[in-house]
Amino acid sequence: NAGVTQTPKFRVLKTGQSMTLLCAQDMNHEYMYWYRQDPGMGLRLIHYSVGEGTTAKGEVPDGYNVSRLKKQNFLLGLESAAPSQTSVYFCASSLPHNRLREQYFGPGTRLTVT
């Protein structure tokens, strides 16, 4: 049981390039989330998904797109990377209708845009 995994762990992009971050979970969780973490800002929600085929915007969605084609995977895309998107990206997952309301986090992807 690997929990939540993220690919890649590190990436350097040039301004204008595109990339996709992959999040996978093996806990059969219904809900999945993408956050970005910046120094002194805590974690901010980018997009989330409450089930296969559904996505919704979070607090800071601009410049990102997401897809949830399979229940276990949640993809975060950057179509045209900007230096402001330099950050550490975390994926998380959780069960719905769960009184525990706990989110399980992946190890993060460190992205640098030059």
Partner 1 sequence: AQSVTQLDSQVPVFEEAPVELRCNYSSSVSVYLFWYVQYPNQGLQLLLKYLSGSTLVKGINGFEAEFNKSQTSFHLRKPSVHISDTAEYFCAVSSGAGSYQLTFGKGTKLSVIP
Q: Which residues, 48 to 87, sit near partner 1 by CB under 8 A?
A: 48, 50, 58
34 binds partner 1, rule: CB under 8 A: no
101 binds partner 1, rule: CB under 8 A: yes
* Of 40, 54, 62, 69, the one binding partner 1 by CB under 8 A: 40
31 binds partner 1, rule: CB under 8 A: yes
Q: Which residue spans within 1-114 are E strands per DSSP?
A: 4-7, 10-13, 19-25, 31-38, 42-51, 54-57, 65-67, 73-78, 87-94, 104-105, 109-113
- 10-13 and 109-113 beta bridge pairing: parallel
What are 78's strand-pairing partners?
19
What backbone phi and psi angles, to 5 degrees, belong to 72?
-85, -10
Smaller CB separation from partner 1, 40 or 79: 40
Site for partner 1, rule CB under 8 A: 4, 31, 33, 35, 40-45, 48, 50, 58, 90, 92, 94, 96, 99-103, 105-108
